[in-house]
Amino acid sequence: MIDVAAAAARIAPFVHRTPVLRSPALDEWAGAELFVKAEQRQHTGAFKYRGATNAVQSLSPQDALRGVAAHSSGNHAAALALAARMRDIPAFVVMPKATSSFKAAAVEQYGARISWCDNTLAARHEILAEVLTATGAVEVHPFNDERVIAGAGTAAMELVEEIPGLDIIVTPVGGGGLCSGTCCGAPGVRVLGGEPADRSATIADGLRTGTSTRTNAILREHFVERIAVGEDDIVDAMAAVHRTLGEVIEPSAAVAFAAARRAGLRGLRAGIICSGGNVDPDALPS
């Protein structure tokens, strides 16, 4: 059962209640009234800390002693590392060799033990299986986990508590954890998902995966429409957010803004879950 309210109570001592940002200039750019839930200001710089914290804090004392593990090349790895540190348990993260030094340094800073693998999904699964066998750790999947989905949904729950009467909420969609959590955290509100037109080559590296059976079922149940956006749209959205809000956001987060603009939401009050701001300064699009 995906219980967002229980997750919100569980993670409250550990997470930021992030602000909702507004800009008339951004509204004009998007063609709608936007209310931006600023998860780039969350611990570890992304919404992922909510789901990782809910998963870690849900563990029984016996399971917690085993530690937690996951494969990830980015925000989930950092989020799980910090969530584990806050409970004083070990975290084991499998990361591909192509991971940027910027992201790897953040994971190491939070205290996770990194195992490196080749740059394929099969290699990630293979090395993670070895880590799980060697350590006995509990796997915390980045999106195919009800605890993670419920934690992600707390961002939308906070948004609708602060801004009632939204017509729609827009999120990026990669594995679908944030978008499905938003459906559960803001019941009765229409949800729109933005995704890159070319997942395999997109600069939105956090969205290169596809939805799982669990998250896809939730998106279908809630009739989530998905809008594909191009690379130029993503870069334009990053620039618009920086120009109007003064915020640096990662390409994956910018996908939601680009989708809101492309969807034609004129006259609507639209919430945007800005998923994160972790971008290597040396890799920023010009």
16 & 27 share domain: yes
56 & 23 share domain: no
pLDDT tens for 79-102 read 999 999 999 999 999 998 888 788
What pLDDT does residue 201 have?
Answer: 87
Number of domains in the chain: 2
Among 73, 105, 139, identify where a domain stops. Answer: 139
pLDDT at 285 over 80: no
130 & 173 share domain: no
Average pLDDT over every residue of 211-230? 96
Percent of residues, the chain, with pLDDT higher than 70: 98
168 & 229 share domain: yes
Residue 29, class by beta-carbon neighbours within 10 Å (0-12 exposed, 13-18 middle, 19+ buried)?
buried
163 & 259 share domain: yes
What pLDDT does residue 205 have?
Answer: 85
Q: What angle do CA 160, 163, 166 make, to 5 degrees?
A: 75
187 & 239 share domain: yes
171 & 271 share domain: yes
- Containing domain of residue 99, as a range? 49-139
pLDDT tens for 111-133 read 999 999 998 889 999 999 999 99
pLDDT tens for 176-208 read 999 999 999 999 999 999 999 998 889 998 898
Among 139, 165, 194, identify where a domain stops. Answer: 139
58 & 158 share domain: no
54 & 31 share domain: no
221 & 182 share domain: yes
CB 149 within 8 A of CB 4: no
CATH value at residue 99? 3.40.50.1100
Residue partners of 123: CB distance under 8 A and separation at least 6? 96, 117
59 & 79 share domain: yes
